[in-house]
Amino acid sequence: EDKVVQSPLSLVVHEGDTVTLNCSYEVTNFRSLLWYKQEKKAPTFLFMLTSSGIEKKSGRLSSILDKKELFSILNITATQTGDSAIYLCAVEALYGNNRLAFGKGNQVVVIP
């Protein structure tokens, strides 16, 4: 069974801080790892990672994958209150019909 473990489950930071979220996984025949952001509604796609060591970046958010050590990191720099959300990590296996196994999420609260 595919397994995704995220840490920390919850954190509170001040605006301007940098946040590092961790996602470790176990999956047979890994295909990709995805990060989603969930505010008080549907998850929205952030990144898909398939190769080790290649950083994906979007504004103040960036993510990297380590396929040898089976983990990914999502970084948020210069945090803003709008970054308050649950960040979900999911993994996809080959031949899995695009099914995703999700972790419990990292709840981030950014206070002014």
Partner 1 sequence: NAGVTQTPKFRILKIGQSMTLQCTQDMNHNYMYWYRQDPGMGLKLIYYSVGAGITDKGEVPNGYNVSRSTTEDFPLRLELAAPSQTSVYFCASSYVRDGRQYFGPGTRLTVT
Which lies closer to partner 1 via its Cβ, residue 9 or residue 78?
9
CA 71 distance to own-chain centroid = 10
List the interface residues with partner 1, window 13-52 (CB under 8 A).
31-32, 34, 41-45, 48
Residue 67 interacts with partner 1 (CB under 8 A): yes or no: no
Residue 57 interacts with partner 1 (CB under 8 A): yes or no: no
Which lies closer to partner 1 via its Cβ, residue 17 or residue 48?
48
Three-state DSSP at 40 gives: coil
Residue 54 interacts with partner 1 (CB under 8 A): yes or no: no
Neighbours of 48 (CB within 10 A): 15
Burial class (CB in 10 A: 0-12, 13-18, 19+), 105: buried
- For the bound state, the minimum distance from the C-beta of residue 72 to partner 1, rounded and expressed in Å, comes to 14
Question: How many distinct helices (H) and strands (E) make up the chain?
Answer: 0, 11
Contact between residue 23 and residue 32 where contact means Cβ atoms under 8 Å apart: no
Residue 98 interacts with partner 1 (CB under 8 A): yes or no: yes
Q: Given the rule CB under 8 A, which residues bind partner 1?
A: 4, 9, 31-32, 34, 41-45, 48, 88, 90, 92, 97-105
